[in-house]
Amino acid sequence: MTRPSDAPLVSIVTPSFNQGRFIRQAIDSVLAQTYPHIEHWVVDAGSTDETLEILRSYGDRITWTSGPDDGQSDAINKGFAATRGEILAWLNTDDVYSPDAIERAVDELVRHPEAGLVYGRGVILDESGGETGPFVGLEPFNLWRLLYMLDYILQPATFFRRSAVDAVGDLDRDLHYAMDWDLWLRLAAHSEVRFVDHVLAGSREYGDTKTSTGGWPRIRELGGLMRRHTGDRWTPGVRLYALDTLRRTLRSRGPRIAWVVDSMVAFASRRIIEGAPVHADGWLGPRSHLVVPQRWGSFEVDFEVHRLPAAGPFTIELSVDGATVGKLETDQAEAVRLRCELPKAKNDPFVCVDVKSNIAFSSAQDRRQLAVRCVGLRGGT
């Protein structure tokens, strides 16, 4: 772990508004950290409940301000601007850190100077703070799936470098539901993303959270965000979020139709998930994709070949805009590595690489059509 003499300052910002029933737990989780070099700023929007009294009770152990702002993103940006840390994070008033979260995150960033963002595991808390289970949406980092499928990165379990945020820009103040997803994508375009295999935070889920009450305005914002980053408003991920919103909307009409709604949404969601060309466990379909940052210039990809065609060798071809950038053949079920150069003329932050294989087989566990497993993807050296 990082020694105190080497320890960079970590700045935690907590946006706050009338969350007095939760804020003490959030602050205490920061003060209880095993990492010694932390500053904690609470940016309050002018709370009228017990929040200010609670903030005063901490004396000089935290820094706080209270006054009007233009929403959560604006409050977080103001906090980042006022702080001095090399490493940044924000912790909402209803979330908490694990005791060694900051120590784990800083150690990962120190050991990997190429990384601009790290994220870890998380647990879900109920309204009273009881743990209900792990955050099940977590996935290993995969840029295609972060772009097109789901925001599988749990926000309170993230930490990032100030230099990276300075390079890509602050949180978008016009976003109210997906400002974190937008920031992850912009940071991924700029620098590497690392996963910490450790529980870093607890995220509270209850009926009044912004995610739970966002409804169709949240879906419209997600669609606009995806169009900004991918050119496609209705990505598979936005469809999944829309189905969940439809389920919540219809269930509110009464218990009689709840089981029907749940069944229909579960079926439609499963079809979207199983039909995706890229899966969370690394499996790719016969017509699939990789997404890599343009800044790499070249990349290496590791595949595991598990099945061979009935006649001839297994082949896999990688292309960008129809131009082949890599191809291999093998007549053995084995691990293989392919190095590819990206086209020089591409100016987008991300490059979509089409992956075509000459084999397809059905998964034994579900309806997925599979071809090859991607087990490694990195910038070329």
The C-alpha atoms of residue 296 and residue 381 are separated, in whole angstroms, by 9
Residue 265, Cα to own-chain centre: how many angstroms? 23
The answer to whether residues 375 and 284 touch, using CB atoms and an 8 Å cutoff, is no
What pLDDT does 212 receive? Answer: 56
CATH number, domain of 143, equals 3.90.550.10
What pLDDT does 6 receive? Answer: 72
Per-residue pLDDT of the chain (381 residues; tens, 9 = 90+): 555 557 899 999 999 999 999 999 999 999 999 999 999 999 999 999 999 999 999 999 999 999 999 999 999 999 999 999 999 999 999 999 999 999 999 999 999 999 999 999 999 999 999 999 999 999 999 999 999 999 999 999 999 999 999 999 999 999 999 999 999 999 999 999 999 999 999 999 987 666 555 789 999 999 999 999 999 999 999 999 999 999 888 877 777 777 888 899 999 999 999 999 999 999 999 999 999 999 999 999 999 999 999 888 999 999 999 999 999 999 999 999 999 999 986 678 999 999 999 999 999 889 999 999 999 999 987
User: Which of 254, 275, 296 is the last residue before a domain boundary?
Assistant: 275
145 and 43 fall within a common domain: yes
198 and 164 fall within a common domain: yes
- Going by the DSSP 8-state scheme, the letter that residue 9 receives in this structure is P
At 89, list the tokens. Answer: 């994070």
Confirm whether 179 is domain-assigned: yes
What pLDDT does 249 receive? Answer: 85
The C-alpha atoms of residue 123 and residue 247 are separated, in whole angstroms, by 24
CATH number, domain of 298, equals 2.60.120
266 and 179 fall within a common domain: no
324 and 351 fall within a common domain: yes
Amino acid at 363: S
The C-alpha atoms of residue 350 and residue 142 are separated, in whole angstroms, by 13
At 376, list the tokens. Answer: 């490694």
Angle of the 179-190 helix axis to the 215-230 helix axis, nearest 10: 20
The answer to whether residues 375 and 335 touch, using CB atoms and an 8 Å cutoff, is yes
What pLDDT does 162 receive? Answer: 98
With residue 341 as reference, give the H or E element that holds it. strand 335-341
The answer to whether residues 300 and 292 touch, using CB atoms and an 8 Å cutoff, is no
Residues recorded for the chain: 381
Amino acid at 319: S
Q: Based on the structure, what is the number of domains in the chain?
A: 3
Confirm whether 182 is domain-assigned: yes
153 and 20 fall within a common domain: yes
The C-alpha atoms of residue 115 and residue 163 are separated, in whole angstroms, by 11
The answer to whether residues 198 and 104 touch, using CB atoms and an 8 Å cutoff, is yes
- Going by the DSSP 8-state scheme, the letter that residue 278 receives in this structure is B
169 and 234 fall within a common domain: no
119 and 258 fall within a common domain: no
pLDDT tens for 102-130 read: 999 999 999 999 999 999 999 999 999 99
Confirm whether 42 is domain-assigned: yes
254 and 144 fall within a common domain: no
Confirm whether 210 is domain-assigned: no
The C-alpha atoms of residue 170 and residue 162 are separated, in whole angstroms, by 10
Confirm whether 268 is domain-assigned: yes
Confirm whether 23 is domain-assigned: yes
8 and 147 fall within a common domain: yes
66 and 175 fall within a common domain: yes
What pLDDT does 1 receive? Answer: 54
User: Which of 223, 252, 275 is the last residue before a domain boundary?
Assistant: 275
- Going by the DSSP 8-state scheme, the letter that residue 255 receives in this structure is G
User: Which of 143, 175, 205 is the last residue before a domain boundary?
Assistant: 205
- Going by the DSSP 8-state scheme, the letter that residue 342 receives in this structure is P
Domain range for 253 is 215-275
What pLDDT does 250 receive? Answer: 84
Has this prediction a pTM greater than 0.75?
yes
199 and 231 fall within a common domain: no
What pLDDT does 154 receive? Answer: 98
181 and 119 fall within a common domain: yes
Single out the residue of 273, 265, 153 nearest to residue 257, CA to CA.
Answer: 265
The C-alpha R_g of the chain, in whole angstroms, comes to 22
Amino acid at 317: E
